[in-house]
Amino acid sequence: MSRVRGAYGRNSDAQEYEPTIYYPKRSSDGLHQDFTVQCEKMDIPFLSYLPTEVQLINDAYNLVIDAILGVEADPSNVKEPYAGMLVTLKQVKIPIASVDVPSGWDVDEASKEGINPEVLISLTAPKKCAASFSGKHFLAGRFLPYDIQKKYDLNLPDFPGKHKDVSALVPPVASSHSFTGPEKAEDGL
């Protein structure tokens, strides 16, 4: 869900979360609209603006989920309101967890101009930029069929517990693994 940022409320415990979503430009994409309706039906509030005072964010939340820019984004050409969001989020002191590619990074390499998250959650398979990531790295959605792995010559690490009941989010990926494969694939990877 690119261009969506969730922040989890400070008064949450291990079982209860109070998410808040900042979604600056509503998409006409059906999947994004369905996501928005689902969140509204769950009474998850949407912020009308992102506070530019960093301390307000630090005081109100204990985690920021960065899903602002997607893998298709050109980090050298980030326009408003996203450029301003990156400036603000680069200054927060609370942890940031980025989804797939940290906002402001190129899919192939890390960038000092982008967000520096504590956690990276790679979807389907880690992108090349994940090799430069030094924080906690999780892999979500390990559901690549063997024929797709073979077609794109993907070199994915073997994870213990490959079973249909294994959680979609697995323990941290060791940074010593080599992930290779196409930059972009037609199969939606």
**164 — pLDDT class (breaks 50, 70, 90):** very low
Mapped onto helix, strand or coil, the DSSP state of residue 86 is helix
Arithmetic mean of pLDDT over the chain: 76
Residue 70 and residue 82 in contact, taking contact as beta carbons nearer than 8 Å: no
What pLDDT score does 83 carry? 93
- Asked whether the whole model's pTM tops 0.85, one would answer no
Sketch out the chain's domains with CATH numbers. 4-117 (3.40.50.10260)
From the number of C-beta atoms within 10 Å of its C-beta (0-12, 13-18, 19+), residue 185 rates as middle
Write down the H helix ranges in 21-145. Answer: 30-41, 54-60, 82-89
